[in-house]
Amino acid sequence: MTQANAPSPAADLARAGGPSSPARSTLVVTAHAGDFVWRAGGAIALAASRGEEVTIACLTFGERGESAKAWREGKKLDEIKAIRRDEAERAAATLGAGVRFFDAGDYPLVATAELTDKLVEVYRETQPDVVLTHPTEDPYNGDHPAANHMALQARVLAQAIGYPGPGEIIGAPPVFYFEPHQPEMSGFRPEVLLDITEVWETKRKAMECLGAQEHLWDYYTDLAVRRGVQLKRNAGPNLGLAHKTMAEAYMRPYPQIAKELA
């Protein structure tokens, strides 16, 4: 498929620039310290492996709602934040990304103008070619839709030349929603299946940095297997041959721009 400044959905996530191209930039806006690993670790590792700049905006440490193991061990709030920060930093480094913490507080994460303004600054600084974030719905965790709301709002504001703040305005980077924990209950449809087979071991190592949520390691391994089966089923003849494809699923909230259909 030949397009002008409008790659296919998978290409938006997976293509590399030519030798003389500036490094592409990916921005990940995530509610909690572990979300970017479970849901988008493969996409992050693929981008980093191609020399792209990947910035993770981590709004909270997930200290209250996603650190049950530490609370049961008798840890205090500041200790838990430190634990989750260390886990997220090690996971991001394993994937090849940089991570910034906003310490906005979880359960609940509240969408505010101040926090959105901080995200506008990140958008203008990083000039993302691709944005990854949560979908708009999650009846089990209101922090995720709150992160989505601010991520999308900041993307719009960062494009407005009259919006105050440092940095140059951005274009309109495509946005991909990564898969929530219970997709069927969150209105999630796997519109884009990203092959992460070549970086799966990297993602698994990043997952294993998250000791506070060890119970999710096998869950997200199994999910990658299932999405890999679906990827192969949609990639060509269904021959029923054995394979070891691992994949992640994404949705697109905005139209794909194209000159040809593929």
The model's pLDDT over 119-146, given as tens digits with 9 standing for 90+, comes to 999 999 999 999 999 999 999 999 999 9
Segment (H or E) for 159: helix 143-159
Closest by Cα among 138, 132, 125, 147 to 43: 132
Q: What is the mean pLDDT of residues 86-113?
A: 98
Whether the pLDDT of residue 93 is over 50: the answer is yes
**Separation CA 258–CA 188 (nearest Å):** 24
- Contact yes or no for 11/176 (Cβ under 8 A): no
Closest by Cα among 183, 167, 173 to 226: 183
Whether the pLDDT of residue 237 is over 80: the answer is no
The length of the chain in residues reads 262
Segment (H or E) for 47: helix 35-49
Q: What is the mean pLDDT of residues 180-184?
A: 96
- Contact yes or no for 32/40 (Cβ under 8 A): no
- For 55, list phi and psi in degrees, rounded to 5: -115, 125
**Separation CA 194–CA 249 (nearest Å):** 6
- For 99, list phi and psi in degrees, rounded to 5: -130, 140
Q: Say which residue, 192 or 241, is predicted with more confidence.
A: 192
Whether the pLDDT of residue 78 is over 60: the answer is yes
- Give the pLDDT score at 2: 37
- Provide the mean pLDDT of the chain: 93
Predicted TM-score (pTM) of the model is 0.91
Question: 194 pLDDT band (50/70/90 cuts)?
Answer: very high
Q: What is the mean pLDDT of residues 25-34?
A: 98
SS3 199: helix
- Contact yes or no for 33/105 (Cβ under 8 A): no
- Give the pLDDT score at 241: 75
Give alpha helix (H) positions in 59-142. 68-72, 77-95, 113-126
- Reduced DSSP (H G I as helix, E B as strand, rest coil) percent helix, strand, coil of the chain, to 5: 45, 15, 45
Q: What is the mean pLDDT of residues 96-105?
A: 98
Q: Which amino acid is at 166?
A: P
Which stretch of 2-16, 79-93, 129-143, 226-240 has the lowest confidence by average pLDDT? 2-16
- Give the pLDDT score at 17: 46
Q: What is the mean pLDDT of residues 48-56?
A: 98
**Separation CA 174–CA 178 (nearest Å):** 13
